[in-house]
Amino acid sequence: MCIIFILAILSVTFDRGDFQQQRWVTKTLADALDNYLPDGGQLCERHGQTYREGLKDFKLWATRMYDSSSKFPTGILAGRSFDFGHFDECLETDTTGLGFQPQYCIVNIRFSPSPRLYPDFYNTSSPKSSPNVSAWEATKFDPNPAKIQRNEINTAICVPSSCTPSELQNSLSSKVITAFAEQSIDAYVTVNPVYCTSPDHQPPKLFGYKIFWGFVLFIVGITIVGTLYDVFTLKENQSKLKTFFVIFSFKANTDRLFLANSKSEDLSGINFIKTYACITVILGHRLIYTVGQPLHNPKNVEETADQWSHALQRNGALIVDMFFVISGFLTFHFLYEELTKTKKFNLTMLLIWRWLRVMPLYGLLIAFHTFVLAHLTNGPLWKKLAVRESEYCQQNWWTNVLFLNNYVNSNRPCMIQSWYLACDMHFFIAGVLLVYFAWKYQRYSVYAMLVVIFISCLIPTFVVYRNHFYPTFMNYISTLNHLPDHRSYTELYIPSHTRSTPYFVGLFAAYVYRYLRLDKPKFQFPCPNVLLALLSISCALLFLTVHVFYMYKYNLWMSIFYALTFRLIFAAITSAIILIFAVNKIKGCLTNVFVPLGKLTYGAYLGGLTMQLLQVASVRSPTYFNPKLTLWYAIADIVVGFIVAFFLYTLIESPFDTLLKQLIPNASTGSGKMRSRPNPNVSRNIKMAPQ
């Protein structure tokens, strides 16, 4: 009987142990955090005890802090690793007289079963998909970059602000690791300061904050004065004071927005392409921001990796090449024409003009990101996205001003979209020299441009070969959290020497257009609408080709061939579309509708993407991914982006552009001199494509 009794006790014990070992990680974590008492330093431990006593006494402040903390993480096996709790309830808790304020932190816990609990977890084979296998199979490491790992939990806690992130990490590690170890689960706990927020730990407002808003008020004030001068004074009154203030007139700058340039009337199709490209870029960034941040249903995103219908968006970064093609086309077209007329060339003056032309709006937005952005709102991701962006700008603003930001400290970018401006400035320098060579040595101009295009194709191909990169940056869900963390982004996607092919193809297309206009003035492309339709279809098919790299294992030689050809082909298609619009003089609504929209693309590109950052950085919960919902957000982004661009154009871009033309009227050919009278010049046309 004694033996039977002992065996029964052992059986119950083992059964209980087996049951405990099979408890899922969320239950174990919930129990551990529910009994967690913040400690560490003396002050943290004392306030932690105050918090615990407040809970026992059911005090409102303590209960609100407890209520705002995450309780039981859900959806781990579906890839939903973030539970934000209630950010605002935590920070709005009134702790007056307690000696501390509430602090919101996101705690990261990575877990895995011990070899004793599930030995097969450390088998390097891919996870099994059968529903009857162990749940631990779903948490195994998956080498597929299109997948989110399922062995991670990010949960929110609300604790006294006197506890530093390092103290929280130490005390939480002890608590969580012990609780998980009882279930034969290994755990690693991290509390990153970038995920901790409290009311008294806000970034300081620098002196530049006051300067920025002072400048904005000055611009608004001078715009009001200029508008009143423009509307209520007689046209015969041409005093110097009126001439100056009218430059900032809201009415005059709005009229200038809708004014088509007669010298570029045949190129009105470019405005359509610019508008289309800008809208597509905004849509692409909405997808990047949505997919790259915490998702409620990442499984839905993972499933799109194998779908052809989503291949267009995965190669969407190619759209930026349209801007480069247009920029190269305009540079050759107008500069060559001016060189032919004036026979004057001064590279220094051209670069000074270019810098002065770009910087008013660009500099204002750099200052906004540097001094203002971090103070606009808050949220669980605010420090990670917005405050970090501001800190990068405080450290690296000079790289933007010198247009070196795509090479110097490119992994800590100020305004991530500004890499394009650096590339375009570098291309402009090279393009101006190539145009001058083509004008000076016309016999060799075609050969020179073709050689440059060929070399520009070889450079990214060599980078792909040397580093075994994919031919373009791959938009995997696991890589979109912070793009500059990846070498293929900083060494292949944004450097000027790997992106120059479209610009030089645009230069060559302008050369072809000039040849057709001078030597064959009556030439027109047959069936232009059919050609445009075929080119559009070809462009879509080219976008789809990137899907091959998502479907199959990496192949170096396939990547090399793709890197050598895909930007060249896309640039050639874009150039052909521009030539058909220009040679056949296709206008219609292109002039009336897309001229103003084309002028707003520069502000929409810079300002619109900044508005997206503000929205994403202030979210309070994981985003639910749905293509239709994402499109709805993108439409709002586009509308808001162009509204912001309108005010940036009328208040900053247009008045400063006019002011520069009065001071340096002939800068486009390098013969500009400081003047006090306006002298309209073709220099207004040699500008970045988004403008």
The continuous run of DSSP H or E covering 313 comes out as helix 311-314
Cβ pair 415, 366 in contact under 8 A: yes
pLDDT of residue 671: 52
Tell me the Ramachandran region of residue 589: left when phi exceeds 0, alpha when psi lies from -120 to 50, beta otherwise. Answer: alpha
DSSP line for 126-185: PPP--TTS-GGGGGS----TTS--SSEEEEEEEEETTS-HHHHHHHHHHHHHHHHHTTTE
pLDDT of residue 4: 45
Tell me the Ramachandran region of residue 52: left when phi exceeds 0, alpha when psi lies from -120 to 50, beta otherwise. Answer: alpha
Q: How many CB atoms lie within 10 A of CB 78?
A: 17
Tell me the Ramachandran region of residue 66: left when phi exceeds 0, alpha when psi lies from -120 to 50, beta otherwise. Answer: alpha
pLDDT of residue 691: 44
pLDDT of residue 531: 92
**Nearest by Cα to 471 from 564, 547, 570:** 564
pLDDT of residue 264: 64
Four-CA torsion 262, 264, 267, 273, nearest 10 degrees? -110
Alpha-carbon gap, residue 187 to 191, rounded angstroms:
13
Tokens of 77: 């096996």
pLDDT of residue 275: 92
Range list of H helices, 468-555 = 487-488, 501-519, 528-544, 547-551
pLDDT of residue 612: 92
pLDDT of residue 203: 85
Alpha-carbon gap, residue 114 to 185, rounded angstroms:
5
Query: Residues of the chain whose pLDDT is less than 50?
Result: 1-21, 674-689, 691
Alpha-carbon gap, residue 453 to 156, rounded angstroms:
53
**Nearest by Cα to 323 from 107, 567, 558, 58:** 567
pLDDT of residue 591: 62
Secondary structure (3-state) at 61: helix
